[in-house]
Amino acid sequence: MTLRARLQLHSVAVVVLVVIFVSVSDNDTSVGEMLLPAAAATLVVVILSWLVTRRLTNTIAEMADVARSLARGDMSARAPLTAPGELAALATALGRLGEHLASRITDLRHEEALLGNLVEALDEGVITVNARREVTRMNAAAQTIFGATRPVPFGFDMLPRSRELRHAMESALAGIATDPVEADIGGRNVSLVARPLPGNRGIVLALFDLTRMRRLENVRRDFVANVSHELRTPLTVITGFAETLADDDIPAEMRQQFAATIRAHAERMRRIVDDLLDLSRLESGNWSPQPAEIDLAELAQEVAATFRDAAATRGLLMTVDVDATGLKADRTAVRQVLSNYVDNAIRYSEAGSVTIFGTRDLNGTTIGVQDTGPGIAQAHLSRVFERFYRVDAGRARKSGGTGLGLAIVKHLVEAHGGTVKAESELGHGTTMTAFFPDQVAGAVTSA
């Protein structure tokens, strides 16, 4: 029987006792006098019982409210500590339960925040999809891979279309984990794997962007092939002429000609090896600029004097037009930049002029070389600073170029925090520039 029912029963008992007391009092005074003390005592007991029952009922109702509040997630709710009897122990236990739940929920929130930060910090893309086929989570790496910026959740049909991606997700939703597979997603090479979540609650998809790795593999493969090709030609010439020189019947004049050819190709091989060593040193980070104040006009005249005879041989006028006289940079690096630019300009020009220039703005100094050669098509301009890239490969090899000079220039300028640029138009010459900022990045100040 519930306390509320007991309270109602006590109320009925009080009413009955009152009725009996009145009836007896009216009919028999002696009997009434006998029952009056008993009825009064019973009435007192019933009233006291009603008061105690009411207090217990209110306390239990408060505990029920506390329990419902805890169930709704209100961890601040607590049971009254003034509860009577055994209810005090129940109130204490309920309070401890609330404290334990609050502590556990706080720990879970911290773990969720830690897991979220870890997922966001991953280089791998992570996507979760629920059983309703909605994307519920997508970390920053996944957004970069998919190019997605829309807020979650959204249907996974909104993801880029890829046969491998769809197959992996459908298999995982069917409860089958997939092995890593490569897919082309939005022009990126991606390795992806899908796993179902326990309880058919959805799937998790992990993606690793292989684009940079594949690009580096291609660059390394092309580099090895280009080096092999560049060295094979002079080696073949040297071997052939050396074998011919072993013949005693060759006239002295031809011997001298063969020896000069061997010497020229050996020199070409030396230049290739030297450029490769310079490029390796720059790319490995073992070199840093040592900036110093440079008289740019004087340095430009020195470089022009070095190439003036070669320019005259090809019918070119070598000129200097430097407005900026001061430059703080590594002198050897600046000389090498100008020398490579001038060498290329002379090699690919047959008439007109080659001009070394220098200008200054608020942020730094720009140096460059302008020629009146045949120019470069727009399709090639973005790649002229790549290793071994040539606009006209046959002509470049014939003129003795290694295909590494502009790549070295790019690394030298970028080591100063600067940038390189090529501007050209077919039939209207080429302008190669290098910008050196006033604040040299990664510089080592000379003592």
Q: Which residue pairs from 24-27 have beta carbons closer than 8 angstroms and sit at least 24 positions apart in sequence?
A: none
Name the average pLDDT for the chain.
78
Could you report the per-residue pLDDT of 27-60, keeping only the tens digit for each?
555 555 555 666 666 666 666 666 656 666 766 7
352-401 residue pLDDT tens: 899 999 998 888 899 999 998 888 888 788 888 887 776 655 444 555 55
Output the CA–CA distances (angstroms, integers) from residue 14 to 4, 25, 36, 214, in the order listed: 16, 16, 14, 93
Specify the range with the lowest mean pLDDT, choosing from 3-7, 79-83, 276-280, 428-432.
Answer: 3-7
192 SS3 class: strand
Asked if the model's pLDDT at residue 290 lies above 90, the reply is no
DSSP states of 150-190: SPSPEEGGGSPP-HHHHHHHHHHHTT-----EEEEETTEEE
Strands lying side by side in the sheet with 188-196? 154-155, 134-138, 125-129, 203-209, 188-196, 181-185
Give the pLDDT of residue 445: 42
Around Cβ 379, how many Cβ atoms within 10 Å? Answer: 8
Report pLDDT for 342: 92
Tell me how far the alpha carbon of residue 60 is from its chain's centroid.
57
| CA angle at 169 for the pair 164 and 171, rounded to the nearest 5° | 95
Lowest mean pLDDT among 53-67, 142-156, 217-231: 53-67
Residue 70 predicted with pLDDT over 80: no
How many Cβ atoms sit within 10 Å of the Cβ of residue 110?
A: 10
C-alpha to C-alpha distance for 21 and 39, rounded to whole angstroms? 7
What are the structure tokens assigned to 202, written together? 């959805």
pLDDT value, residue 318? 92
Distant-in-sequence, close-in-space partners of 95: CB < 8 Å, separation ≥ 6? 78, 79, 81
pLDDT band, very low/low/confident/very high, at 431 (cuts 50, 70, 90): very high
Asked if residues 373 and 345 have their Cβ atoms less than 8 Å apart, the reply is yes
pLDDT-derived band at 85, boundaries 50, 70, 90: low
More confident call, 445 vs 296: 296
Task: Tell me the per-residue pLDDT of 192-204, one tens digit each, with 9 for 90 and over.
Answer: 899 998 888 888 8
Of the listed ranges 93-107, 157-171, 292-306, the least confidently predicted one is 93-107
User: Phi/psi at 417 (nearest 5 deg)?
Assistant: 85, 15
Q: Name 145's Cβ contacts closer than 8 Å, sequence gap at least 6.
A: 125, 185, 186, 188, 190, 207, 209
Contact assessment for residue 391 and residue 384, using Cβ atoms and an 8 Å cutoff: yes
The band of 242, judged by pLDDT with boundaries at 50, 70 and 90, is confident
pLDDT of residue 46: 62
Q: Please tell me the total number of residues recorded for the chain in this structure.
A: 447
3 state DSSP class of 282: helix
The DSSP result for 373-439, as a single string, is SS---HHHHTTTTSTT--SSHHHHHHHT--S-HHHHHHHHHHHTT-EEEEEE-TTS-EEEEEEEESS
Mean pLDDT of 139-150: 80
Residue 83's pLDDT is what? Answer: 61
C-alpha 349/C-alpha 310 separation (Å) is 11
- Which residues partner with 125 through β-bridges? 207
Residue 420 pLDDT > 90: yes
Mean pLDDT of 54-72: 71
Choose the weakest-confidence range: 89-98, 206-215, 276-285, 364-373: 89-98
Tell me the CA distances in angstroms from 253 to 247, 248, 258, one per residue in order: 14, 13, 9
Cα angle vertex 256, ends 252, 266, to 5°? Answer: 150
Residue 26 corresponds to which tokens in the numbers above?
A: 């009216």
DSSP string, 354-365: EEEEEEE-SSEE
